[in-house]
Amino acid sequence: MSHFPLHQPTDRPSFAALLSDNSFAPRLARTLTTLTAQAWGMQPLCDDLELVASELVTNAALRAPTIALLLILHPSGEIEIKVWDDAPGEPREQQIDDSSATSGRGLHIVRELSTAWGCTTTPARGKTVWARLGPLPRDVTDDS
C-alpha cells in the first residue's frame, strides 16, 4: 500500500487530486490544471501549465504502477505543480540524439517552460517532482 505525502495546509490557494494509473491521467491533469489556473486568473500560463502537468504525470505513470498525487499551488504570482509517485530514484533528462525519437523529451520541455523545477525524495518512499511557472508578464498583470 502506498503512503502519500501529507500536504500541509497553507494560506496560499491550492488544489490536490489523486490520479489513477491509466491512460487518462495525463489528460485529466491537463484539464484540472487549466481549470485551476483559470479560477486563479492565470489564463496566460494555461498552455504551458497544461504541458508541464501532462509531462510530469506521464513520467509518474510510466515509472510508478500506482496512483499519483497531483498538487497545484499558487504562491504569490506563480503556479507550482507537484506530482508525487512511489517509484524509487530521481528523474533524469535523457540525451536525445535522434530528432525522430518519439519519447524522452518530457523533462526537457519541463525545464524550458518552467522558471524552476526539481525533485524531492520522500523519506518513506517515492518522490515529488515539481515545476514552478510564472509570474505573469508585467503587461498582463498591469491594469494601466
pLDDT in tens, 88-136: 877 776 666 666 555 557 888 899 999 999 999 887 788 899 999 988 7
> Are 45 and 54 a contacting pair, CB within 8 Å?
no
Domain ranges of the chain: 14-141
Mean pLDDT of the chain: 80
Q: Angle at Cα 109 formed by Cα 12 and Cα 52, nearest 5°?
A: 30
- Which CATH architecture does the domain made up of 14-141 adopt? 2-Layer Sandwich (3.30)
Question: pTM of the entire structure?
Answer: 0.81
Task: Give the separation between CA 51 and CA 31, rounded to whole angstroms.
Answer: 11
pLDDT in tens, 1-23: 344 454 455 567 788 888 887 77
